[in-house]
């Protein structure tokens, strides 16, 4: 993803990596390969793509063998990694999602990205990363702790054929337009104008960022472990109230796995005509919708009059765990370098929907006409959303201890509001109280530590 149309993909998925002092050559047939482990949380189609990437690496050289194992979920990957490290059975590389970033940072159980690559003969242009992606995983000084891997942001998907049949001739850029479209879809006979789940990533976190609303004090936790959540005092309360009103009128319909169908299958089955979900689902949606169905993707809507801000990066990054033999680190560095080669970077974006994380990588894919092709058209909007403005205290990311549990607390509140008709403000206040208790426990656990 750099240098030219053919070679510029080098900067692609992970960074602009160039092998300098170290060259790996095939080992003699009798030499034993160095094995090292990679644990990841993706499953299903995306998990299969990870396995395919691992197979490609193993076939590309003769020095190392990466053993890749799905932990069947981001939460379990984080929990299993921590437990394995304590038992001194940790993998060399682990995929940790955005919400687990602070846990790994404070654990000190990892080798920083810059150290790993420098020690193994690689030179990286670290400034080539998009700021909206790198800042989530970087220290206060801007140095990456881990390698952005499957980076995404939330997008708005809508069925263009359904829009046309309902007489809707606009793209829903604002929530006012979403409501207008929903009413027209309902009038045209569509029973689920918009599908919604209790996942807080799009509904709370991305909404708050693009509307310049804090989730917590202390710059969403970046400035200290004494942060307190404030999502119960921001425009997020108004947004939940709006969505509940829409749900009461059956303009929004709850779609979750527990109820039989999550939002993405609801969209691909044409049950629901609008959803919010990750750009990473772009490939799955394109492959799953019946051939010939016209659909579109757009940046998340904002309320009319809002000065849109950049959205948050989602997905996960790759951390290299400490306490292993140097030979495994040579393998880990080789694998991370391999993921950044021209072929692999573009392959990964093609088969998944995840976005390139470097400026030169994105520019190269545009030059190649990647985003002009029908299956991939629209994915470039994820970059536009992430880079819409420079990151600020409200849009850099969320660095809160126990954030996985905080997400669950907010999800529980949403479930009570939408499924039990509970009061919006009351439930969000309760969720905030429970979330702050989580933060105080985390702060106590890491008493005396400062964020760098």
Domains in the chain, CATH or no CATH each:
8-152+313-368 (3.40.190.10), 155-310+400-445 (3.40.190.10)
Please determine, for residue 27, whether its predicted confidence score (pLDDT) is greater than 50: no
What is the C-alpha separation between 178 and 119, in angstroms, rounded? 51
What is the C-alpha separation between 193 and 188, in angstroms, rounded? 10
Residue keyed to tokens 């670290």: 126
What is the C-alpha separation between 447 and 449, in angstroms, rounded? 6
Q: What is the pLDDT of residue 13?
A: 34
Q: How confident is the model at residue 30 (pLDDT cuts 50, 70, 90)?
A: low
What is the C-alpha separation between 224 and 226, in angstroms, rounded? 5
Residues 133-159, mean pLDDT to the nearest whole number? 89
What percent of the chain has pLDDT above 70? Answer: 93
Confirm if 98 and 209 have CB atoms less than 8 A apart. no
Q: What is the pLDDT of residue 339?
A: 87
Mean pLDDT check: name the lowest of 197-206, 308-317, 360-369: 360-369
What is the C-alpha separation between 93 and 318, in angstroms, rounded? 6
Parallel, antiparallel or unpaired: strands 122-125 and 34-40: unpaired
Tokens of 47: 């998990």
Q: What is the pLDDT of residue 439?
A: 97
Parallel, antiparallel or unpaired: strands 93-97 and 252-254: unpaired
Strands (E), 92-210: 93-97, 110-111, 122-125, 147-152, 154-159, 194-196
Q: What is the largest CA-CA distance in the chain?
A: 71
- Going by the DSSP 8-state scheme, the letter that residue 33 receives in this structure is P
* Run of H or E residues at 55: helix 44-60
Please state whether the predicted TM-score (pTM) of the whole model is above 0.85.
Answer: yes
What percent of the chain has pLDDT above 90? Answer: 71
Q: What is the pLDDT of residue 342?
A: 65
Confirm if 120 and 330 have CB atoms less than 8 A apart. yes
Tokens of 395: 């849009």
Q: What is the pLDDT of residue 300?
A: 98
Q: How confident is the model at residue 123 (pLDDT cuts 50, 70, 90)?
A: confident
Residues 58-79, mean pLDDT to the nearest whole number? 95
Please determine, for residue 380, whether its predicted confidence score (pLDDT) is greater than 50: yes
Q: What is the pLDDT of residue 11?
A: 36
Q: How confident is the model at residue 8 (pLDDT cuts 50, 70, 90)?
A: very low
Comparison of pLDDT for 340 and 380, the residue scoring more: 380
Give the burial class of 102: count Cβ atoms within 10 A of its Cβ; 0-12 exposed, 13-18 middle, 19 or more buried: buried
- Going by the DSSP 8-state scheme, the letter that residue 226 receives in this structure is T
Please determine, for residue 368, whether its predicted confidence score (pLDDT) is greater than 80: yes
DSSP string, 153-183: -EEEEEEHHHHHHTT--S---BHHHHHHHHH
């Amino acid at each position: 993803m750099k240098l030219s149309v053919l070679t510029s993909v080098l900067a692609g998925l992970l960074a602009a990596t160039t092998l300098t002092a170290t060259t790996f050559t095939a080992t003699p047939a009798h030499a034993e390969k160095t094995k090292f482990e990679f644990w990841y949380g993706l499953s299903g189609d995306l998990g299969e793509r990870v396995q395919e990437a691992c197979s490609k690496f193993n076939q590309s050289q003769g020095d190392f063998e990466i053993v890749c194992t799905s932990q069947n979920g981001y939460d379990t990957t984080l929990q299993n990694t921590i437990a394995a490290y304590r038992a001194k059975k940790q993998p060399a590389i682990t995929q940790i999602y955005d919400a687990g970033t602070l846990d790994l940072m404070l654990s000190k159980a990892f080798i920083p990205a810059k150290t790993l690559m420098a020690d193994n003969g690689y030179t990286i242009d670290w400034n080539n990363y998009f700021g909206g992606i790198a800042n989530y995983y970087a220290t206060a000084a801007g140095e990456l702790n881990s390698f952005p891997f499957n980076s995404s942001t939330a997008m708005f998907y809508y069925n263009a054929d359904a829009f046309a049949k309902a007489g809707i001739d606009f793209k829903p850029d604002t929530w006012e337009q979403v409501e207008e479209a929903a009413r027209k879809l309902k009038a045209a006979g569509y029973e689920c104008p918009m599908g919604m789940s209790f996942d807080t990533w799009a509904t709370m976190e991305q909404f708050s960022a693009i509307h310049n609303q804090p989730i917590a004090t202390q710059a969403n936790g970046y400035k200290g472990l004494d942060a307190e959540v404030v999502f119960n005092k921001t425009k997020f309360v108004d947004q939940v109230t709006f969505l509940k009103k829409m749900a009461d009128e059956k303009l929004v319909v709850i779609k979750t796995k527990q109820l039989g169908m999550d939002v993405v299958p609801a969209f691909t089955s044409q049950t629901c005509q609008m959803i919010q979900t990750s750009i990473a689902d772009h490939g799955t949606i394109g492959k799953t919708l019946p051939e010939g169905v016209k659909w579109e993707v757009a940046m998340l809507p904002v309320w009319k009059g809002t000065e849109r801000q950049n959205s948050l990066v989602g997905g996960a990054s790759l951390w290299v765990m400490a306490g292993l033999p140097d030979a495994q680190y040579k393998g880990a560095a080789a694998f991370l370098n391999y993921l950044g080669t021209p072929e692999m970077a573009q392959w990964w974006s093609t088969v998944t929907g995840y976005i390139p994380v470097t400026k030169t990588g994105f520019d190269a894919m545009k030059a190649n006409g990647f985003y002009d092709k029908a299956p991939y058209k629209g994915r470039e909007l994820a970059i536009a959303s992430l880079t819409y403005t420079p990151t600020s205290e409200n849009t850099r990311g969320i660095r809160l201890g126990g954030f996985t549990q905080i997400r669950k607390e907010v999800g529980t509140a949403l479930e009570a509001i939408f499924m039990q008709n509970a009061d919006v403000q009351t439930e969000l206040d309760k969720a905030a109280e429970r979330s702050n208790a989580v933060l105080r426990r985390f702060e106590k656990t890491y008493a005396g530590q400062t964020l760098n």
